[in-house]
Amino acid sequence: MKNNKACLYILFIVTASLFSCKKDSIYVNRRLPETTIAAGDPRLASNIIHLSKDTAYILGTNLRRDSGQTLSIEAGTLIKVMDRLSIVINPGATIEAKGDAGAPIVFTSSADKGGAGPVTPDNGPFTDHYWSGIAIYGDPSGSAGTGSGTLSYVRIEFAGGNANSVAWPGLLLQNVNRQTTLENIQVSYAYANSSFEFYGGDCNARNLVSYASGHNDFYLHQGYKGMLQGLLAYRQPLFPFYYVPYDFAGMYISDVNTSPAISNLTVLGPDLQTGTSTSYTTPIVQNIAALVTTGGCQFHVRNSVLLGFPKQGWSLDNNATALSIANGQSDLIYSILHCNDSLKTFYLKPGTYGSLTSSDFKNFMLQPSFNNEVFLNSSQFMLTDPFNYDVRPDPLPRPASPLLSGAKFDGLFTDEFFQKVNYRGALGTDNWLKDWTNFLPLQTNYNN
């Protein structure tokens, strides 16, 4: 573990020094006056905390909003959070973080450029620079007529981990209802936990990006029942860079009563690119896949793309979940799947469903009525430049890509929430990633 961390740190520093001059101008922030919000700051006692774009904020204490209180943030505002701290929106409180494509709101680490994440000093102990993320807690009774506010055109970087024995994702949405607006959100370098965690609730969300996650990209569990569209789980081969004694996936759906409806998901795994972490291929952990469905969950997934996970494409290890697929209560249709191990594109854990095997699972899911396809090579997806991680990664499909057609919206997916696009996967000809996302936060100078 020590050598792995040292190697990772060296790679981060080399990458930053070689390519920092190639950043797009949107990632170069002009110098702003800085103010620190520390414990005892009088702003913390106000019912409305307003953060403006003309100031860079250093958060030096946990920021909590309770019932009746609001955190209001202008488009273009930069918030740099010190290690192990968090932003918590409790039931009855709201967050109004409304950025726009040209001026996203950025929550990032207070560490210097290239210093966030796992850091190895020349002489001394390891230091992990991460903060604990944003947690939004909705009304657990589900009776509230109002939501928890808005997150729109927001980036959350170098968050997620463990603090005070609590595991924090980059963005936790617990019991959040669909009166809450969630769209155009990117979580990058979630340190040691999921990027997005949907814990119960029925909130809807669109245009979500998880990049370089150290665990799950999207974790849906504890009875979550919302609708999701336009999800990009974009892995970076180095992560997880340490041995993880647990499952992880691009999309992980679990638990009885969980029943999401998901369209236009892309899980873009490392595809065994140079430097791919051995965490992806460890034989000890059962479920390391683009998609994991387990724990008695039900789901509806369509118009989606799963590619580039070395060990398993779709992993199924639970009898109740398998039964829901067999009887039509759950489905994955109009989708394209790939795995580096072609024998495990559809993986059914032995004993999950009687004597049926992974081959039986594959044959069932490739019935013509489901309109699913399997690609044997990631090049068949015809993505522009997805593995150019250090300069300008580009996961968009090229003009002749088979992803640009084949989508279908019927049944549950006729709901007005779903935009009726032609393409499969998260991205088509409408590049909703443009301007507001950043796939090079390690190289970005945030007002330093």
- pLDDT one-digit tens code per residue, 167-177: 789 999 999 99
Residue 265 inside a domain? The answer is yes
Residue 200 inside a domain? The answer is yes
Cα–Cα–Cα angle for 86, 170, 260, rounded to 5 degrees: 130
Q: Are 445 and 28 in contact (CB under 8 A)?
A: yes
Structural domain that includes position 66: 2-438
Residue 165 inside a domain? The answer is yes
Residue 444 inside a domain? The answer is no
Alpha helix ranges (H) inside 238-376: 319-326, 358-365
Q: Output the pLDDT for position 112.
A: 84
Q: Output the pLDDT for position 244.
A: 61
Q: Are 76 and 53 in contact (CB under 8 A)?
A: yes
Domain tally, the chain: 1
Concatenating the DSSP letter of every residue in 74-119 gives: -TT-EEEE-TT--EEE-TT-EEEEE-BTTB-EEEEESSPTT-SEEE
Residue 57 inside a domain? The answer is yes
Residue 447 inside a domain? The answer is no
Work out the burial of residue 365: count CB atoms within 10 Å of its CB; fewer than 13 is exposed, 13-18 middle, 19 or more buried.
buried
Q: Are 374 and 338 in contact (CB under 8 A)?
A: yes
Residue 9 inside a domain? The answer is yes
- Strands 56-59, 373-374: pairing is unpaired
Cβ neighbours around 207 below 10 Å, total: 24
Q: Output the pLDDT for position 241.
A: 65
Q: Output the pLDDT for position 164.
A: 66
Q: Output the pLDDT for position 245.
A: 63
Residue 443 inside a domain? The answer is no
- Ranges of residues in the chain whose predicted pLDDT is under 70: 1-30, 118-127, 140-145, 163-165, 241-245
Q: Output the pLDDT for position 118.
A: 64
The label of the residue with tokens 């892995």 reads 235
Concatenating the DSSP letter of every residue in 192-243 gives: SS-SEEEESS---EEEEEEES-SS-SEEEETT---EEEEEEEE--TT-S-S-
pTM: 0.92
Q: Are 371 and 334 in contact (CB under 8 A)?
A: yes
CA distances from 400 to 302, 309, 380, 384 (A): 21, 24, 10, 11
Q: Output the pLDDT for position 285.
A: 77
Q: Output the pLDDT for position 390.
A: 87
Work out the burial of residue 32: count CB atoms within 10 Å of its CB; fewer than 13 is exposed, 13-18 middle, 19 or more buried.
middle
